[in-house]
Amino acid sequence: MFISSKRSVYLPLRRTFINHSITFHKHFQNMSKKLFFLPVLILGAFLVFTSTSCGDKCDFDQKDFVGSYVVTEDCSASPAASYPVVITANGETDVKITNVWGLFGNAVNASIDCETITIARQEPDSDKFFVEGSGTIEKSGGNITINITYTVTDETDAANILTDNCSSTVYAKQ
């Protein structure tokens, strides 16, 4: 009877141990699957954010903008014109453009970001004539052109503000 009682005590313990072992193994498998997917999810998120934050590859930098240009433009309030312009570097990402609109005596400051050039609103000659606009640079067969749309505002008479919209301005690099 001693042996049978021993069996009766150990047999339920063994079944309990086996059941706990199987349950532990299933939980461990589920946990290892979850732990496997966590790094995959983090890696996927990292790749998505780094690929979108870099954007398109930029083919232009400041040196592409710098140089002498011949400008042709047709504006809304002034006659069609052609005149020279010089773009020089100003810091690491900015440029200065001389002779904008064919009339500004002082250089106009502009910032560049890849192929985009932006002229923030400014008064180059301190004479109540303001300029602002933006454009893009293009390369074609070794030729560089900048297409800019800008507005010159004459604010010398606050009651009668005049605007000249220049939407067909092409800078052809020489």
How many angstroms separate the first and last alpha carbons of the chain?
A: 111
Query: d(Cα 105, Cα 110) in Å, to the nearest integer?
Result: 16
Domain limit, last residue, from 55, 73, 97: 55
Q: Are 155 and 130 in contact (CB under 8 A)?
A: yes
Residue 122 has pLDDT above 80, yes or no: yes
**pLDDT value of residue 48:** 47
Quote the mean pLDDT of the chain.
83
Region 50-67 average pLDDT = 77
Same domain, 17 and 48: yes
Number of domains comprising the chain: 2
Of the three residues 55, 71, 99, the one that is the final residue of a domain is 55
pLDDT tens digit sequence for 68-106: 999 999 999 999 999 999 999 999 999 999 999 999 999
Give the predicted TM-score (pTM) of the model: 0.69
Q: pLDDT tens digits, residue range 143-152? A: 999 999 999 9
Same-domain check for residues 100 and 127: yes
Structural domain including 169 reads: 62-173
